[in-house]
Amino acid sequence: MPESTEIDANHIRRLAEAAGLSIDAHEAEDYAVAAKGYLGAFDAIPSFPEPASPPPVDRPYRRPAAAENPLGAWSVVGSIRESEAGRLAGKTIA
């Protein structure tokens, strides 16, 4: 793939022809401008810092009993209580 600065209307027209599409010069120029913008954004990605993984949290869990898991859909059962307030306070999520 050429560098984003090398994308021009002629390149777009060649790509369109290779795909069996026909576009006029005005459309090719519009697509070239858009492509330069997108590729310029992609060029910035390597400069982004690597995302930091959250530290592992040691939470107790257990295998569910057959009676509480009749469909066998749960692999483990645990309890997470991060906050006593908020929209999920007091809720059970399965």
Secondary structure class of 32 (helix, strand, coil)? helix
Please list the ranges in the chain whose pLDDT falls under 70.
1-5, 94
The pLDDT of residue 1: 45
The pLDDT of residue 27: 96
Opening angle at CA 54, ends 86 and 90, nearest 5: 20
The pLDDT of residue 2: 45
The pLDDT of residue 85: 84
pTM above 0.75, yes or no: no
Secondary structure class of 78 (helix, strand, coil)? strand
The pLDDT of residue 55: 80
The pLDDT of residue 79: 81
What are the domain boundaries of the chain? 4-47
8 CB burial (10 A radius; 0-12, 13-18, 19+): middle
